[in-house]
Amino acid sequence: MNKKRVNIICVVIMALTFGAVLCVYPSMPDTIPTHWNVHGQVDGMGPKWSVFIFVLLPLLVMFGEKLEPKKEGYSRFENVFNIFKLMVTVFTSLMVMVTVTEVYKPGLVSMNTVMYLSMGAMFALLGNYMPKVKHNYTFGIKTPWTIASETVWNKTHRMAGPLWMVGGIVVMAMVFVKDQNLAFTVSGVVLGIITVIPMVYSYIEQKRENKPEK
């Protein structure tokens, strides 16, 4: 995917989302939903201006490359990072639209369904591309051990790829579970597993790499 083209698409999505919010902003109440509980019910409110934080959040990702010390590293997995930027932009815009919908049509959209499907899809897609992410300091599975060794980085990302794909699919499957407490617990455990295992794996690989030869 062409970097310039992806950036344009992301900016267009953000601009359309920003414009849509501006159209309804004057009629929005002073406080809007900002958090949903395990049952998909609103249990937290915040100032309505906070919606713009989510609209512009993808800018942090888009400019993340500018902060990378090893800029040449990004050229080796540019397509992966472009896909990630696009996913984050679509995800945040979706969250904004769900929030606005909840203001005017409470309960029309199931936040649990949106979260399980979108988060699961993101992890599944990232897992597919994870082995292609090359050593850098701002994107990927960053532990002291992956950052210290490119070999450990590569091994960790190759291992984590399939793990994230399976985990993402399991999270998406939670939309079919009627018991919301169970769905929340399973998705939480899965996300914890796919986060912790790569960290532990990178530590073990780093110890193996530094083990003195007899």
Task: Kindly report, residue by residue over 76-135, the tens digit of the pLDDT.
Answer: 778 888 888 898 999 999 999 999 999 999 888 888 899 999 999 999 999 998 998 888
Low-confidence stretches of the chain (pLDDT < 70) are 1, 64-65, 67-75, 212-214
Position of tokens 């990302």? 157
**C-beta of residue 1 within 8 angstroms of C-beta of residue 83:** yes
Which amino acid would we find at residue 129? Y
Model-wide pTM > 0.85: no
Tokens in use for 154? 């590569």
Please tell me the distance from the alpha carbon of residue 126 to that of residue 112, in angstroms, as a whole number.
Answer: 21
Which amino acid would we find at residue 203? Y
Give the CA angle between residues 54, 113, 128 to the nearest 5°.
75
Please tell me the distance from the alpha carbon of residue 16 to that of residue 10, in angstroms, as a whole number.
Answer: 10
**C-beta of residue 93 within 8 angstroms of C-beta of residue 120:** no
pLDDT of residue 137: 80
**C-beta of residue 147 within 8 angstroms of C-beta of residue 103:** no
Please tell me the distance from the alpha carbon of residue 200 to that of residue 21, in angstroms, as a whole number.
Answer: 43
**C-beta of residue 167 within 8 angstroms of C-beta of residue 127:** yes
Please tell me the distance from the alpha carbon of residue 106 to that of residue 100, in angstroms, as a whole number.
Answer: 9
- Can you give the residue ranges of every domain in the chain? 1-109, 110-214
pLDDT of residue 158: 96
pLDDT of residue 28: 92
pLDDT of residue 147: 92
